[in-house]
Amino acid sequence: MNTSSVLALAALAVACVVSAFSLFTEKPERDIIVGAPLRRYRKPVLYVLTGLTLVFGGWQILKADKESRDAEQKHAAEREADEKQISSLKSSVEHGNAMLELILVTLYQPQVISMGASGQHAVRLSWKPNVTDGVVGYNIYRSEGRGTSYAKLNPVPLRTPSYVDDLHVTPGLTYHYVATAVNSAGAESPRSNEIAAIIPIS
């Protein structure tokens, strides 16, 4: 029983007590200000008022209980819908992550590009596009040492299967690259094959 029901029940109890007290408490004739007619019809009027009070109070209690039940049913339905949605999303993410485990991006041999008379170079990377459902892009990682200390180059997943690395490419160094596929949840596939690009001194 909610707060409204309790208040209505308390008001009903108070009304009943007051009515009963009025019915069973007789006042001397000299205390009746209006006169004998009021004393004569006092009990029937109080009976009617008590009955109306009982009916109204009962109706209020039933109404409050119904509203409380309806609200509880609504909240229960909303919770159930939310739980189903969360479960569906979790299942979708788990399925997407499981699919990523089966994906292996294959990097092609890189191309070292001369950037002009300045002697600067860039490395053009490309790979076979993946058509697996849920894949939304790719990440490229670079390292100056083979198989270790990779740093991601792209701030957001790449939509196309190519990338040009011109970020502080130093002549005379060898850079190692790997790639991963990314799904909509941000999870990544295992790393691709590693390729190396040797940057010429001049």
Least confident span in 23-37, 53-67, 142-156 = 23-37
Query: How many CA atoms lie within 13 Å of 12's alpha carbon, on the beta-carbon side?
Result: 18
* pLDDT number for residue 103: 74
Say how far apart CA 110 and CA 175 lie, in whole Å.
Answer: 10
Plot region of 116 (φ>0 → left; ψ -120 to 50 → alpha; else → beta): left
Three-state SS at 190: coil
* pLDDT number for residue 124: 96
pTM: 0.54
The whole-number average pLDDT for the span 59-66 is 76
**Under a CB-based contact definition with an 8 Å cutoff, are residues 140 and 165 in contact?**
yes
* pLDDT number for residue 6: 58
Say how far apart CA 58 and CA 10 lie, in whole Å.
Answer: 11
More confident residue, 147 or 20: 147
* pLDDT number for residue 1: 57
Least confident span in 34-38, 98-102, 128-132 = 34-38
Whether the predicted pLDDT of 108 surpasses 90: yes
pLDDT digits (tens, 9 = 90+) for 180-201: 999 888 889 889 999 999 999 8
pLDDT band at 24 (very low <50, low <70, confident <90, very high): low
**Under a CB-based contact definition with an 8 Å cutoff, are residues 110 and 197 in contact?**
yes
Whether the predicted pLDDT of 26 surpasses 60: no
Q: Which two three-digit tokens encode residue 166?
A: 């011109």
**Under a CB-based contact definition with an 8 Å cutoff, are residues 96 and 184 in contact?**
yes
Secondary structure element (H or E) that encloses residue 151, with its range:
strand 151-152
Name the β-bridge partners of 165. Answer: 123
Whether the predicted pLDDT of 2 surpasses 70: no
Nearest partner of 110 among 132, 129, 125, 128, judged by Cα: 125
Say how far apart CA 43 and CA 49 lie, in whole Å.
Answer: 10
Q: Which two three-digit tokens encode residue 56?
A: 């109204």
* pLDDT number for residue 32: 47
